[in-house]
Amino acid sequence: MASVFTMIIKGDLPGTFLWRDDRCVVFMSINPIAPGHALVVPRDEIDQWIDIPSDLREHLFGVAHEVAEAQKRAFGVERVGMIIAGFEVPHMHVHLIPANNLADLDFARAATSVEVSELEAAAELIKSALES
């Protein structure tokens, strides 16, 4: 059975996308820890990050770097935290979370739901920063 991320990538479930290429996508988290929280997800269903081939790992981290720089500009934060937990969905993904301190990266702070309009507004800020 396809992972929830594969269903989002294929368009079977909605997603607010920031980036799409032939190897990965980036979309907004529906349970953001902070405004602008995004997920970098390989198109291939790979469960654990340690199982990713080195060329794909380099690509994912390159994309994560570009998106994180845009998030930092868009939200005016000190840092963008990167977390690879791997427990929520059995499809490797990188959390990119705009943050000003360590407490901003606490999964206990994740929203249980947000309006699509909030995700779209955050995505537009990041996309604009990506383009600049």
Q: Where are the domains of the chain?
A: 4-131
Q: Compute the distance between CA of residue 124 and CA of residue 132 in angstroms, rounded to an integer.
A: 12
pLDDT in tens, 47-80: 999 999 999 999 999 999 999 999 999 999 999 9
In angstroms, the CA 2 to CA 97 distance is 26
pLDDT tens digits, residue range 9-27?
999 999 999 999 999 999 9
Topology classification of domain 4-131: HIT family, subunit A (3.30.428)
> Any idea of the CA torsion for 50, 55, 60, 65, to the nearest 10 degrees?
110
- Residues ≥6 apart with Cβ < 8 Å to 99: 34, 77, 78, 79, 80, 81, 105
Q: Using CA atoms, how far apart are residues 120 and 37, in angstroms rounded to an integer?
A: 12
- The Cα–Cα gap between 101 and 126 comes to 20
Q: Which residues are CB-neighbours of 16 under 8 A, at least 6 positions away? A: 27, 28, 116, 119, 120, 123
Strands 79-83 and 24-28: unpaired
Report whether pLDDT(132) > 90: no
Task: Output the pTM of the full model.
Answer: 0.95
**CA 35 to mean position of chain CA atoms:** 12
Percent over 70 (pLDDT), the chain: 100
